[in-house]
Structure 1
C-alpha cells in the first residue's frame, strides 16, 4: 500500500468516520457517503497532509479512491 493510500484511508476513517472495511480502491467517495461539501473539506485536508496543490473540483464524489491516489501522485506526492 502506498503512502498516499495509507494517508487517504487514515483521513477517511479518523476525520470523516468512514469504516475501514468499506474503503476499497475501486470504490467512489459517493459510495462512502462523501458528498460535495465533505469533498471540499477532504480536498483541503489532503492538501495539508500531503503537501500537494489540489483544487476542490479535481476530486469529486464520482472518483474512485484509486483515481484520487493517482491524481495526488501525479502532483508530486511520494509513492512507495
Structure 2
C-alpha cells in the first residue's frame, strides 16, 4: 500500500502568486465560533483561499481577518 495515498494533497488553486493550497468556506462566519474558526483558517499555511459566509456582519469579519499578514485571500458573501 502506497503511503502517499493516505496523505491529503493540496488543491491546485492559484492565489497571490500562484501558491497552491486549500480553498476553505466557513458558513456562519459572523458568529462566535465562526469568527474564531476564520482566524485559525487564515493563520493556517495550507489555506490559500478563504470564503466567509453569513446572513449579517460578514464584511466586518472579513476586514478583521484580512489584516493578518498571511498569503490566504479572504472574501465575504452575504
What band does the TM-score fall into relative to the shorter chain? 0.3 to 0.5
TM-score (norm 2): 0.34
TM-score (norm 1): 0.33
Greater RCO structure (CA 8 Å; 6+ sep) = 1
Larger Cα-atom Rg: 2
Q: Which has the higher helix share?
A: 1
